[in-house]
Amino acid sequence: MKWYRNLKVSAKIMLAFALIVAIAAYIGVSGRVALRNTRIRSAQIFEDYGNAQGYLGSILSVYNEQYIVMSDIIIFGMEEDKDEFLTSIDEYRANTVVYMSAYKNTIDPLAQPGDMAAYEAIEEKMAEFSLLLDDFIDFALVGDVDAYTALFVSDRSDEINIALTDMLLQAQERNITQSQYVQDALNRKTIAMETTLLIVMFAALVLSILLTYVVSAGISRPLGALRTAANKLAMGDTNVELFALDFKDEAGELARAFASMVAALRQLIGDINALSDAAVHGRLGARADISAHQGDYRKIVEGINNTLDAMIRPVQMAAGVLEEISSGNLGVQITGEFEGGHALIQNALNRTIDSLNAYIGDIQTALFAMAEGDLTVKITSEFHGDFVALKNAINNIMREFCHIMRSINASAVQIASGTAQLAQSAQLVSEGANEQAGSIEALTAAITEISAQTGQTAAYAHDLNAQTEETMQYAQDGNIKMQNLQSAMAEINTASQNIAKIIKAIDEIAFQTNILSLNAAVEAANAGPHGKGFAVVAEEVRNLAGKSAGAATSTSGLISSTIDKAKAGTKIANDTAVELSRIVESMRCTASTVNEIALASKEQVAGIEKINQGINEMSQVVRSNSASSQQAAASSEELSSQAAMLRQLVSRFRLE
């Protein structure tokens, strides 16, 4: 079989194919003759019965469609479907004539007398249905829906519909029965031919198997080795061994070519591994030597080099853009024409930069407006992702700051109103204190004058005591005069006591005025935006100031009365002195009385001095109160100016 092994694969296949062709030619000729006979008979069956079956089905279908259109007139209304109904009748009649003529042509009157009789019965019933359609047309044209409906449900209509449908179905069943009988006979003949062909084909199959085994035995072994090697290559293993390298046929040539391919693949894989290792270690500039490869392998290596070049360029550009972004420069873009995934990266990074610019621009606009005092600005553009929280936070800051400024503005208005009232009240208190201080100063002057006069009276008493001995002879008259003088001095004493009470009332008023002033200061400090408590205190201060003024007026009147009585007493004392000069001798009995008068006068002088001292102290307190009131008024004015300044600062902001 050496001659067979050295044959070319084409010669082996042609030899086997020639034998198989001879067997197949015999089977084909035999089968063609049998198939031709079968096809002729089948065509005859189809022509005799299949076409008739189809025409009968078309007639029944057209009739059913027409019957449905007739019923639609009743369901949907004659006005809408009348034209469609008339058109469908024309189409039905035309199609019925065509299909009935075609069905008649499929019937052999001699061979199929039953089919011919059935055709004639169907034709007769079709004529009755045509007359029925004419009646429907008449009712439709005049629009008589009731007559149309009555005809549709009448016994005549039902009888024609049922009879015509049954005739068509029975004709179809008869046609099917006859075609089935002929088909069974053809099938029996076909089975006999199939048995003969199976015997011939079995013999041809056995021979073909033998030829296939012989041919495949000369091809399968070297091809099996090549398949094993190819499978190892497909699994990524280039360490393969080949045989049949010395064969002279195509298998040997294929083995030698396969060995060359393995060597080229090893070289290609080595270069690819080197490029991969360089890329892993960051040596993106490494490239493979394309001169070491040929053909498509060279194209592969060149494509890999070009792929690396294409990948490095956008990466470098993206790295540069990201470096600019990290430095705070958002005015950069990745430019250039990229495709595929590089274009996606380019567009994504550029969209990211645009989004950042838009977000920062909106935030910057809002913050600049806030810096200019406009608190009504809000970020209304749409943010995405984590930027939504930033947008909401800035809007919340603006809203809360606006709320705070509104509260500050309202507080400033209340403070300004309260401080204005406080300043006015303090001014009134200061004016009342000044008036009170003037009254006390006048009272002090009057008391000082009374004290001087009382001292002079005491001196006169001493002089009177010295002259008592000389005026004893006038003692009786002097005694009467002195009694009058004592009465006047008693009245002076009573007036002085009343003055002491008034001074005490003034002292109490001054004390309460001091307490109320302190309370007013405390209320003013704690009032904040509300100054209601201070208003009450200020009112009490004004009342006490009125009382002080009344007391001072009373004191002034009493002091005037005392002065008048003192003048009267002085006149009486002068008269008494004249009389006593005459009755010095008679005054010895009254010496003790004069001494007592002198002592009482001294005591009065001391009491008046104490009263004067108390009035001076009260005057100092009133002056202190006046100064405190003026200071409170000044503080109120300062607080009012600060509140006005606060309102002016708040007015710089534009609020909702």
pLDDT at 7: 66
Beta strands in 178-321, from DSSP E residues, in sequence order? none
**429 or 639, which is more confident:** 639
Tell me the range of 26-40, 391-405, 536-550, 598-612 where mean pLDDT is highest: 391-405
Q: Which two tokens stand for residue 186?
A: 């053809």
Q: Which helix (H) or strand (E) holds 156?
A: helix 155-234
The CA distance from 193 to 88, in Å, is 51
Angle at 622 between CA 619 and CA 623, to 5 degrees: 85
pLDDT in tens, 181-236: 777 777 787 787 778 878 877 887 887 787 777 666 666 666 777 778 778 778 87
Q: Supply the pLDDT for residue 474.
A: 67
At 654, is the secondary structure helix, strand, or coil? strand
* Separation between Cα atoms, residue 326 and residue 315, nearest integer Å: 16
Helix (H, G, I), strand (E, B) or coil at 63: helix
Q: Could you tell me the CA-to-CA distances from 469 to 366, 378, 586, 596 in Å, in that order? A: 110, 111, 7, 17
Q: Mind listing the pLDDT tens digit for each residue in 514-545?
A: 676 667 667 767 776 666 666 666 667 667 76
pLDDT digits (tens, 9 = 90+) for 279-330: 788 777 788 888 878 888 788 878 887 877 776 767 777 777 778 887 878 7
| Cβ neighbours, 10 Å, residue 515 | 14
Q: Letter for the amino acid at 314?
A: P
The answer to whether 640 and 423 have CB atoms below 8 angstroms apart is yes
Sign of CA dihedral 275, 277, 279, 285: negative
Average pLDDT score over residue span 59-71: 82
The pLDDT score that the predictor gives to residue 89 is 85
Does residue 44 carry a pLDDT above 60?
no
Three-state DSSP at 239 gives: coil
Angle value at C-alpha 447, between 441 and 450, nearest 5 degrees: 145
- In the prediction, which pLDDT does 331 show? 77
pLDDT of residue 485: 67
Q: Given a cut of 70, is residue 462 above it in pLDDT? A: yes
User: How far apart are the C-alpha atoms of 543 and 549, rounded to whole Å?
Assistant: 10
Confidence of residue 437 (pLDDT cuts 50, 70, 90): low
pLDDT at 413 over 70: yes
Cα(435)–Cα(443) distance, integer angstroms: 12
- Judge whether residue 133 has pLDDT over 80: yes
Contacting residues for 435 by C-beta, under 8 A, at least 6 apart: 545, 549
What is the three-class DSSP state of 584? strand
pLDDT, residue 590, reads 65
Number of H helices, E strands in the chain: 14, 0
Q: Which two three-digit tokens encode residue 326?
A: 């990290």
pLDDT at 159: 92
Q: Which of 90-99, 319-328, 426-435, 513-522 has the highest mean pLDDT?
A: 90-99
What are 584's strand-pairing partners?
471
* Structure tokens belonging to residue 34: 């049998």
Which residue carries 């629009």 as its tokens?
A: 143
